[in-house]
Structure 1
């Protein structure tokens, strides 16, 4: 299947799924439709319905690919092993669930296609605005069909969104003491489907992530790198979906911004 044909099929599936599941329930969720999944994390009926529809649709688009969905993997950790398969779909059916559950944006759908642990294609969809970000390895990044070249904010102090939700107490204190003063801090959106576009589009310059699950980061890392920014582990090594339980990831609007953050992190 050509990249264009794949993009068209995936985009259609994402839009239809969003309309029939996410938008259907948005700001209409009953309390009984929201369940605690882990500390500071919830799952809703929309997550479940969206993942089922996406998995069924992706299986038709590329039947030869394994499927790793966030909710399915949460229920059965053995599914993680599929991330190393020769071809694998990775599904985040509702990124930003905590936002969605209280009836506010941002939230989105993240899909990625990986080959032997390396992301080869990614799609990031915002159901409320209709923004669709796409990327294929070696082919650039695109937003609503227009090629994107990542740009910085141009601010005197780079704008940083530092996620400390899953950072331990001591490291959090070190980040605030040694890293934060060098940046203009902004709130994280608690939604990777929003954070990666913000970096690529010049709204944010750099972001730190501690938890790096494949469904949250596979598509965004590829998108940012293909746009000319840089997303990688703090030591500069590439992000692999089959190592997604490893902590730590930097996303930056330029390689220089990445290097600057990485150097600061190495000193704490």
Structure 2
């Protein structure tokens, strides 16, 4: 992936946020919001942004395939491309739609690029904060154009760690264990209902780890590559590396290897 493409996709997300997403924030009518599944909303902003982003990505990389969250809702078979060859874009036009729909932050625009099944590019934009992170496989992660390494953020001197757990979807027994382990580690924050923002907060050092249960590919492929290229770790609960084509639940992401191991032992071991 060329650096020019890296910059072009970032600019595409910024422009889409400016032209489509932000003008609709706190200006949606009831008819602009639909429940596509119980508790899972989609808005006119999601659909318009995905259409704009998808068309532009195909132009930027001729012959590529786009797998967008809203397109998959209509055509689930699109997911087969995540294990295929060639260039495949993953698009989450508004991550944190439930927040957006009720006029609350955070929300994000996210894109990942897979090349022959491997994650090679990632972009996450928080348009309200004006923060853009991007990564290229083997070339590191940038935060607003400057190199960043999550692993370089100093650990708390008292050994207590701050992290986040998206407990809403956890099975009851796992939730109980995670909450107890989080209390032992230090401070366990509730999820923000926006995976993109959680990944950005790992890069900035606001927290050291984040645990997810649901692992929809558009929610995590961009953030996982951002964290990996910044020296962090993203693995399944059993220690297997994350891949967006694997739909199993459970993902633990941390700023570095030591934090991942410590968090896993506290949150998940019996």
**TM-score normalised to the size of structure 2?**
0.93
In the aligned structure 2, how far is the partner of 1:108 from the partner of 1:160?
20
Contact 1:141 1:148 in 2 (8 A): yes
Q: Which residue of 2 aligns with 1:90?
A: 90
Contact 2:161 2:186 in 1 (8 A): yes
Structure 2 gap segments, 5+ residues each: none
| Displacement of 1:182 | 2.4
Report the secondary structure of 1:165's partner residue: helix
In the aligned structure 2, how far is the partner of 1:238 from the partner of 1:118?
12
| Displacement of 1:154 | 2.0
2:232 maps to 1:233: no
Question: Superposition pairs for residues 253-268 of structure 1, below 5 Å?
Answer: 253-268=255-270
Q: Which residue of 2 aligns with 1:52?
A: 51
2:30 maps to 1:31: yes
* Compared CA separation, residues 164 and 152, structure 1 to 2 (3 A): farther
1:141-162 superposed Cα distances (whole Å, 9 cap, x missing partner): 1011100011255263200110
Report the secondary structure of 1:241's partner residue: coil
Q: Which residue of 1 aligns with 2:208?
A: 205
1:73-131 superposed Cα distances (whole Å, 9 cap, x missing partner): 11211111111222200000000111111112111101000123321110001112221
Contact 1:112 1:219 in 2 (8 A): yes
Question: Superposition pairs for residues 46-195 of structure 1, below 5 Å?
Answer: 46-86=45-85, 87-150=87-150, 151-152=153-154, 154=156, 156=158, 157-195=160-198
| Displacement of 1:166 | 1.5
Q: Which residue of 2 aligns with 1:10?
A: 9
* Compared CA separation, residues 155 and 59, structure 1 to 2 (3 A): farther
Report the secondary structure of 2:168's partner residue: coil
| Displacement of 1:236 | 2.4
In the aligned structure 1, how far is the partner of 2:38 from the partner of 2:173?
19
Structure 1 gap segments, 5+ residues each: none
Report the secondary structure of 2:73's partner residue: helix
**TM-score normalised to the size of structure 1?**
0.94
1:214-250 superposed Cα distances (whole Å, 9 cap, x missing partner): 100001001011111211212222111111x111111
In the aligned structure 1, how far is the partner of 2:157 from the partner of 2:20?
39
